[in-house]
A and B are shown apart, each in its own frame.
Chain A
Amino acid sequence: MIFKLVGLILIVGAGILLNICVGDVQISPQIALTTLFSPAAIPVDQAMVRDIIWQIRLPRMLTAITVGAALSVSGYLLQTLSKNNLADPYLTGVSSGAGVTVAIALSLGLSFSYVPIVAFTGGLVASLIVASLAKIPTGLSVTKMLLAGIALSTICSGIITLIITNGADPIKAQGIFFWLAGGISGRTWQELLPAAGYTVFGILLALVLSKQLRLLSLGSQQAKSLGVNVEMLQLVLLSIAVLMCGAAVSVSGLVGFVGLVAPHIARRSFGRDERIHIICTALLGIGLVLVSDLAARSVAAGQELPLGTLLSLIGGPFFLYLVSKQRGEEFA
Chain B
Amino acid sequence: MPDLNDAKIGTDTIVETTELCVGYEDTGNIIDGVSIQIRPGTITSLAGPNGSGKSTLLKTIARQIKPKSGSVRIANRDIWSMSARDFARECAYVSQFFDNSLALTVKEFVTLGRNPHQKWWSWNISQEDLDSIESAMELAQVKSLEKRFVANLSGGEKQRVAIAAALAQKPQILLLDEPVSSLDFKHRINVFSLLKKLKENSLAIIVILHDLTMIDQLSDQVILIERKEPTPNKIASVGAPDETLTREEIKRIFEVDVEILPGSEPGQRFFEMQFMP
Chain A positions within 8 Å of B, measured between CB atoms, are: 137, 208-212, 214-215, 217-219, 221-222, 224-230, 272, 275
List the A side residues contacting B99 at CB < 8 Å. 219
Listed by A's residue number, 13 A-B pairs whose Cβ atoms lie within 8 Å are: A209-B121, A211-B115, A214-B104, A215-B112, A217-B102, A221-B64, A225-B62, A226-B88, A226-B112, A227-B84, A227-B88, A227-B116, A229-B85
CB distance from A174 to the nearest CB of B (A): 46
List the A side residues contacting B115 at CB < 8 Å. 211, 215, 226-228
List the B side residues contacting A137 at CB < 8 Å. 24
List the B side residues contacting A209 at CB < 8 Å. 121
Q: Is there contact, CB below 8 Å, between B84 and A214?
A: no
CB distance from A204 to the nearest CB of B (A): 11
Given A217-B102, A222-B95, A226-B116, residue A275 in contact with residue B123 (CB < 8 A) = yes
Q: Does B103 contact A (CB under 8 A)?
A: yes
List the B side residues contacting A225 at CB < 8 Å. 62-64, 88, 92-93, 95, 166
Closest 7 CB pairs of A and B: A227-B88, A227-B116, A227-B85, A225-B93, A229-B84, A226-B115, A208-B121
Chain B positions within 8 Å of A, measured between CB atoms, are: 24, 62-64, 83-89, 92-93, 95, 99-100, 102-104, 108, 112-113, 115-116, 120-123, 165-166, 169
Chain A residue at minimal CB-CB distance from B119 = A211
Q: Is there contact, CB below 8 Å, between A218 and B100?
A: yes
Given A222-B95, A224-B64, residue A212 in contact with residue B120 (CB < 8 A) = yes
How far apart are the CA atoms of A112 and B84 in the complex, in Å? 42
Q: Is there contact, CB below 8 Å, between B122 and A211?
A: yes
Q: Is there contact, CB below 8 Å, between A218 and B102?
A: yes
CB distance from A197 to the nearest CB of B (A): 21
List the B side residues contacting A208 at CB < 8 Å. 121
List the B side residues contacting A211 at CB < 8 Å. 115, 120-123
CB distance from B69 to the nearest CB of A (A): 21
Q: Is there contact, CB below 8 Å, between B95 and A221?
A: yes
How far apart are the CA atoms of A217 and B99 in the complex, in Å? 12
How far apart are the CA atoms of A227 and B87 in the complex, in Å? 7
Chain B residue at minimal CB-CB distance from A220 = B64
How far apart are the CA atoms of A180 and B24 in the complex, in Å? 44
List the B side residues contacting A229 at CB < 8 Å. 83-85
List the B side residues contacting A230 at CB < 8 Å. 84
How far apart are the CA atoms of A303 and B98 in the complex, in Å? 56
CB distance from B171 to the nearest CB of A (A): 10
The one of B102, B113, B121 that contacts A226, using a Cβ cutoff of 8 Å: B113
Chain B residue at minimal CB-CB distance from A212 = B120
How far apart are the CA atoms of A208 and B122 in the complex, in Å? 8
Q: Is there contact, CB below 8 Å, between B121 and A224?
A: no
List the A side residues contacting B24 at CB < 8 Å. 137
List the A side residues contacting B120 at CB < 8 Å. 211-212
Scoring B62, B93, B99, B120 by chain A CB atoms within 10 A of each residue's CB, the highest score goes to: B120
Q: Is there contact, CB below 8 Å, between B89 and A227?
A: yes
List the A side residues contacting B95 at CB < 8 Å. 221-222, 225
List the B side residues contacting A215 at CB < 8 Å. 112, 115
List the A side residues contacting B62 at CB < 8 Å. 225
How far apart are the CA atoms of A221 and B83 in the complex, in Å? 15
Given A215-B115, A225-B64, A228-B84, residue A272 in contact with residue B121 (CB < 8 A) = no
How far apart are the CA atoms of A211 and B117 in the complex, in Å? 13
List the A side residues contacting B122 at CB < 8 Å. 211
List the A side residues contacting B123 at CB < 8 Å. 210-211, 275
The one of B83, B112, B166 that contacts A214, using a Cβ cutoff of 8 Å: B112
How far apart are the CA atoms of A230 and B103 in the complex, in Å? 21
Given contacts A222-B100, A225-B62, A228-B115, 9 further A-B contacts (CB under 8 A): A211-B115, A218-B100, A218-B112, A219-B99, A221-B95, A225-B92, A226-B88, A226-B112, A226-B165
Chain B residue at minimal CB-CB distance from A274 = B123
Q: Is there contact, CB below 8 Å, between B83 and A272?
A: no
CB distance from B128 to the nearest CB of A (A): 16
